[in-house]
Amino acid sequence: MQRPDPAQPLAVLVSGGVDSAVLLGLAARLHPAVHPIYVRTGLVWEDVERAYLDRFLAAIAGPALRPLIVFDQPARDLYGNHWSATGTAPDAHAPDEDFYLPGRNVLLLAKPLIWCRMHAVPTLALATLAANPFPDATPEFFAGFADVVSRAVGGHVAIATPYSGLTKVDVIRSGSDLPLEHTLSCVAPRNGRHCGVCGKCAERGRAFLAAGVSDPTEYLSRAWEGTTQRTADHRPWENPCSA
């Protein structure tokens, strides 16, 4: 998988989460111009996520960081009664597979890659981690999707996944000097804060502990403490009716 050339401008697909925030913050120290891109799909946590992201961007403002680009790619009509639209999130014991969103990277990558071609930005980076089990997070998928879009726009655009060999623990350690208090991992936030009950809060809390980095997160509940993640017993992408 191609790694971004630090001499070139870079686009970074961002959410409000730790992984993409660290990728963006560190990239802004290396590249002459870094363009953060956020894609709204209409899922339940996005308003809170966006508020965290805006605070993070303000906190790391610098000469290389360009204004946030926001695209709309509504997915509620596609996902229907999926938990991401209803707010009934998997709990702290849930395996990664329970967080499956069908074809999410197809939705998130399409407009940003076209934007990159239109604005002469050669590469779009995203913070996919080594543990991501989903079929739209493999090297083959990213290479193939970038190739399809490149042919569609009559030029070359690339996808870079520089964190594909890393864990969340690795990422937290590498970005420990960044304002990570302005990041959101929760998929069921309450009153603008991490619920502390959902599986993504648990993943975040465990990673900060394992990294030995002080966790700046305000959790409404500490229910995630002492929990462990179950081993996956299904692959929902192989049975679309279960997604």
Model pLDDT for residues 8-44, shown as the tens digit of each residue: 999 999 999 999 999 999 999 999 999 999 999 999 9
- Distance, in Å, from the CA atom of 111 to the CA atom of 72, rounded to the nearest integer, reads 9
Kindly write down the DSSP assignment for every residue of 38-105, as one continuous string.
Answer: EEE---TTHHHHHHHHHHHHHHT--TTBPPPEEEE---HHHHTT-HHHH----BTT--GGGG--TTHH
Instruction: Tell whether the model's pLDDT for residue 241 goes beyond 80.
Output: no
Percentage, residues of the chain above pLDDT 70: 98
Per-residue pLDDT tens over the stretch 164-180: 999 999 999 999 999 99
- Mean pLDDT within 154-170: 97
- What is the model's pLDDT at position 234? 86
- What is the model's pLDDT at position 21? 98
**DSSP helix/strand/coil, 190:** strand
- Distance, in Å, from the CA atom of 91 to the CA atom of 176, rounded to the nearest integer, reads 26
- Distance, in Å, from the CA atom of 84 to the CA atom of 104, rounded to the nearest integer, reads 11
Which residue, 135, 143, 136, 140, is CA-closest to 160?
Answer: 143
- What is the model's pLDDT at position 1? 46
Instruction: Tell whether the model's pLDDT for residue 240 goes beyond 70.
Output: no
DSSP tag of 8:
S
Give the global pTM: 0.95
Q: Structure tokens of 160?
A: 């870079």
Contact 43, 15 (CB under 8 A): no
Q: Where are the domains of the chain?
A: 10-242
- What is the model's pLDDT at position 237? 87
Instruction: Tell whether the model's pLDDT for residue 243 goes beyond 60.
Output: no
At 4, the pLDDT band (50, 70, 90 cuts) reads confident
DSSP tag of 29:
T
- Mean pLDDT within 116-145: 96
Q: Which fold has domain 10-242?
A: Rossmann fold (3.40.50)
- Distance, in Å, from the CA atom of 153 to the CA atom of 212, rounded to the nearest integer, reads 45
Percentage, residues of the chain above pLDDT 90: 88
Longest dimension (CA), the chain: 52
Which residues on neighbouring strands pair with residue 198, listed in sequence order? 91
Mean pLDDT taken over the chain:
94
Instruction: Tell whether the model's pLDDT for residue 98 goes beyond 80.
Output: yes
- Mean pLDDT within 113-141: 96
Per-residue pLDDT tens over the stretch 69-95: 999 999 999 988 888 988 789 999 999
- Mean pLDDT within 99-126: 97
Q: Structure tokens of 44?
A: 């339940």
